Amino acid sequence: MARARNKQKRKPLRRRVRRRGATRSARSVPAGALSVFAHDMRTSLTGILALGELLASSNLGERERQWASDIKTSAEHLAALTTLMVDAAKADAGSLTLQQEVFRPRRLIEALGETLAVRAQTKGLRAAVKIADGLPERLIGDAVRLRAALENLIDNAVKFTAQGSVELEARANPAGRGRAQLHCIVRDSGIGLTRAEIKRLFRPFAQASADIARRYGGAGLGLSVVKILAKRMGGDLTVSSTPGRGSAFDFSAVLPIGPAEAQETAPTRQSAMLARRLKILCAEDNPYGRVILSTILTELGHRVDFVESGEQAVAAAARGYDAILMDVTLTGIDGLEATRRIRVLGGKLGATPIIGISGHSEPGDREAALTAGMNAYLHKPLSPSMLREAIAAATATSSNPR
């Protein structure tokens, strides 16, 4: 009888455990599905970004050139939103982890300043960017997610400001043990917030108030994810605001200071690589991605051949190319395995520069790519300037164009 009662007691417990396991699995599915969605989205965004940049650098009138620049900026903004969407699902599933890569904070803030200027102009607002002199030259952290977070703050500042200005400020304080506390502050002269509204601000899927949700729309998800990212970076997201006078959002992060820059390839050598016509193999299984990469590489003056799978990439590499662009996510064997097989070809063929391309941004992806034998690793969306620089750097040691 006692055993029977114990078995009956254990049954509800087993059911609860199974339900918890099912819940965890169900919560992990959206994150994985969104990751695949993000890869496809970034492939398409590469086309918008690349064509916008090519148009902006072509022989257009000033007005048309500005339109092309706006297209490029919009693509970058969509890429940032895609990152936040995926991170929201990962945070909910408890699987959000950050990249640790060297980046230049000044360049990042300057790029965000261009984005801010375009958005502010559409509403007739003044835009300003302030970068403190003491900002470290290089930091180590997740630049992709940092940019996505700041894009969200800028987007909100412009959306909630009808007149006046929006300002982006970046500064840093020493944090000890080779680290710096980075502060990125977005100020606006918009509608402002009450204390009660600020308390609701960082709840997922909640707007500051029903009136704001009705007037301005939005899912109310962005700020909650931005705060999570700030916390994961060792900082926080705080806000100070006065109703009717505006708000200031301070995104802080404690990041290791990056190492001093190593000696780079001589400028004359790099310039020669930029001007050289190369024979490039591109492994890309997305038809739209092939069209866009063909457009970019042709405009850069290169000859390009395409294959659709990892097996085809290995076979084609044996014919000899100056460089290979390898999508990491391919049908059949993936880009990493294809790279390993190319490296064992030996001789010049096995030493062909390989640049990895991916729409995923998972921790460890870059390290896995470099370990597999890739010379560089780029995140989508790609731009012509990004590809040009990566190809020049990867082929700088090669002197025999095919």
Burial (CB < 10 A; 0-12, 13-18, 19+), residue 53, is: buried
Beta strands 101-103; 139-141: pairing state: antiparallel
pLDDT surpasses 50 at 42: yes
Residues 57-61 have a mean pLDDT of 76
Specify the pTM: 0.60
SS3 category, 328: coil
Average pLDDT over residues 93-119: 84
Name, in order, each residue with C-beta under 8 angstroms of 67's C-beta and a sequence gap of 6 or more: none
CA pair distance 377, 307, nearest whole angstrom: 19
State the Cα–Cα distance between residues 98 and 108, nearest whole angstrom: 17
Give the model's pLDDT for residue 37.
65
Q: Does the pLDDT value for residue 219 go beyond 90?
A: no
- Distance, in Å, from the CA atom of 128 to the CA atom of 148, rounded to the nearest integer, reads 19
Which residues partner with 283 through β-bridges?
307, 326
Domains 101-256 and 267-394 agree in fold: no
Which CATH class, in words, describes the domain spanning 267-394? alpha beta
pLDDT computed for residue 332 by the predictor: 84
CA distances from 194 to 44, 189, 209, 212, 257 (A): 40, 14, 10, 12, 37
Homologous superfamily (CATH) for 101-256: Histidine kinase-like ATPase, C-terminal domain (3.30.565.10)
Average pLDDT (59-77) is: 75
Average pLDDT rounded to a whole number, residues 286-294? 79
Query: HSE on the CB side for 111, CA within 13 Å?
Result: 19
Percent of the chain surpassing pLDDT 90: 40
Burial string for 135-148 (b: 16+ CB within 10 Å, else e) reads bbebbbbbbbbbbb
- The string of pLDDT tens digits covering residues 224-271 is 888 988 999 999 999 999 999 999 999 999 999 998 765 444 444 444
Q: What is the pLDDT of residues 4-18, one digit of tens each?
A: 545 444 444 444 434
The structural domains of the chain, with segments of one domain joined by +, span: 26-93, 101-256, 267-394
